[in-house]
């Protein structure tokens, strides 16, 4: 079931990005994209922790989701979407757009570099995942307001 979910995300992600924010509410669209990122990250994290068996194809697909997400993500924060829709977007996104775009580009580069490792072996995935996770953390620390 988990494999089907991630494979579905890998197929749906480019379609969601191609549709762009004009096709739907940008807040909802970016929240749905982040749910995909969370699912992919969770899948990789469980493999790394030994909670689920390492699966090269699944790990590669999950890393590809993390690679694809930042490509259109920055466009999902147009002016006027700072509030509403239970957003967790921090004002820094609009105040420091260049910084936000750099963090997204860094995330994409880290995930792109980690794609081969994700499909190679569990040890290679473990070695590559740290850089990707650091980029996730950097974005969340500066550009996300936690509702918890």
| Threshold 0.85, pTM exceeds | no
Structure confidence by residue, pLDDT tens digits, 39-68: 999 999 999 999 999 999 999 999 999 999
Number of H helices, E strands in the chain: 6, 0
Q: Which of 145, 129, 143, 139 is nearest to 62 (CA)?
A: 129
Q: Measured in whole angstroms, how far is the alpha carbon of residue 73 from the centre of its chain?
A: 9
Please give the pLDDT value at position 24.
80
Structure confidence by residue, pLDDT tens digits, 82-116: 988 788 999 999 999 999 999 999 999 999 999 99
Domain residue ranges in the chain: 2-143
Report the interhelical angle of 2-19 vs 56-73 (nearest 10°): 20
Structure confidence by residue, pLDDT tens digits, 22-46: 558 899 999 999 999 999 999 999 9
Please give the pLDDT value at position 18.
47
Give me the CATH code for the 2-143 domain, please: 1.20.120.10
Within 13 Å of residue 135, how many CA atoms lie on the same side as its CB? 26
Considering the chain, what is the average pLDDT of its residues? 87
Q: Which of 16, 11, 58 is nearest to 34 (CA)?
A: 16
Please give the pLDDT value at position 4.
52
């Amino acid at each position: 079931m988990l494999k089907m979910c991630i494979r579905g995300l890998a197929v749906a992600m480019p379609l969601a990005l191609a549709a762009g924010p004009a096709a739907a509410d940008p807040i909802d669209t970016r929240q749905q994209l982040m749910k995909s990122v969370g699912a992919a990250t969770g899948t990789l994290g469980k493999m790394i922790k030994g909670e689920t068996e390492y699966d090269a194809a699944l790990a590669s697909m999950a890393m590809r989701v993390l690679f694809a997400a930042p490509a259109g993500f920055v466009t999902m924060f147009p002016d006027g979407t700072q509030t509403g829709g239970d957003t967790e977007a921090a004002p820094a996104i609009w105040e420091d757009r260049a910084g936000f775009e750099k963090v997204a580009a860094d995330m994409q580069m880290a995930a792109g570099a980690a794609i081969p490792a994700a499909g190679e072996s569990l040890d290679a995935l473990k070695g590559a995942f740290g850089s990707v996770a650091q980029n996730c953390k950097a974005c969340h620390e500066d550009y996300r307001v936690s509702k918890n």
